[in-house]
Structure 1
């Protein structure tokens, strides 16, 4: 998906979640900036991630992120690639080792604008994260990358206990639970 397709998808994107709806326009505006797909744009840039679920929609795959020390969905920086769906799939594969990953839908599943804290040589900045829904075989062995402390399939009813309060993840969990997508 190039930046024009992304902008068109964002123009059609609708959500009942106020916190998510509040930044759709910010995402659409950012698509016009070619630097927005590179982490060198220090005020903020695009990232892409995957909300990975098993076929039965009972578990999600989360990673304990090494730099942030929090349980999150798999994903990463676009690094110049304007096809964020491709970025999400590549990051999911690299961070999990899964070969059974399957894109459930060609449309955006969720978006989130969140702040990344300052680190040495990197100022505080925003991630404009575009998320896609993927399925994978829960029985396939996982291969953890260097970016993770841990990687695990978490039962939907245990996600809150595992991650605490993270409105972005809770929103994706709720979307999956209410989803009318056929299994």
Structure 2
């Protein structure tokens, strides 16, 4: 992992503020994790590591692209583990969204300074090390990615299915976290 990625993650989380006390507590927990783990963004950091994701939206059509995750069996936003070549959390989220959606030209929503800004944090348990391994914790930093007009998705080997859903028509197999993220994205676009 690059020092640049760790520094960017710390700066991103220090700069990001939420009016929601639960979100702000998660932000502080993420910062504590990074302070105690120089490798805190890498999959090998157990029992927890920071991940990056982005919900892909098409504002003109009022829809969101979700992936049916093979390990989780639910419809989720695009995202995953940071890689050694990632220099920023936003870059990791955009890379994951592009790889998993097959859509070129995605752009992350930005703040007043023009830099991509997270919209939500989510801590959840997963078995990313394998079915026979203990669960670990993903400390997910979530962004919104806007698809260019007329974007066509292309399913990758990381998905069982990839499908557009109307903002008001999310699938039954999506959890509360995804529904909250889509609601935030809809309000922002």
Shorter-chain TM-score bucket reads: 0.7 to 0.9
Unaligned runs of 5+ in 1: none
| Of 73, 86, 111, the match for 2:121 | 111
Deviation string, structure 1 residues 128-167 (Cα, Å, up to 9, x no partner): 11111110036322211111010011100001x4335x22
2:7 aligns to what SS in structure 1? helix
Given the alignment, which residue of 90, 95, 106 partners 1:90?
95
Once the two structures are superposed, what CA deviation does each residue of 1:34-77 show, in whole Å capped at 9, x if it has no partner? 21121111201111111111132711110000111110000111
SS in 1 for 2:154: coil
CA RMSD between the two structures: 2.1
TM-score w.r.t. length of structure 1? 0.86
Report if the CA contact (8 A) 1:71-1:163 is conserved: yes
2:136 aligned with 1:132:
no
Structure 1 position 124, deviation (Å): 0.6
More displaced, 116-125 or 89-98? 116-125
- Give the whole-Å Cα distance in 2 for the aligned partners of 1:55 and 1:153: 12
Which residue of structure 2 lines up, in the alignment, with residue 12 of structure 1? 15
Tell me what 1:174 maps to: 183
Unaligned stretches of 5+ residues in structure 2: 111-115
- Corresponding residue number in structure 2 for 1:153: 164
Task: Give yes or no for the alignment of 1:3 onto 2:14.
Answer: no
How far residue 21 of structure 1 moved from its aligned partner, in angstroms, is 2.9
Following superposition, the deviation at residue 176 of structure 1 comes to: 2.3
What is the aligned residue count?
178
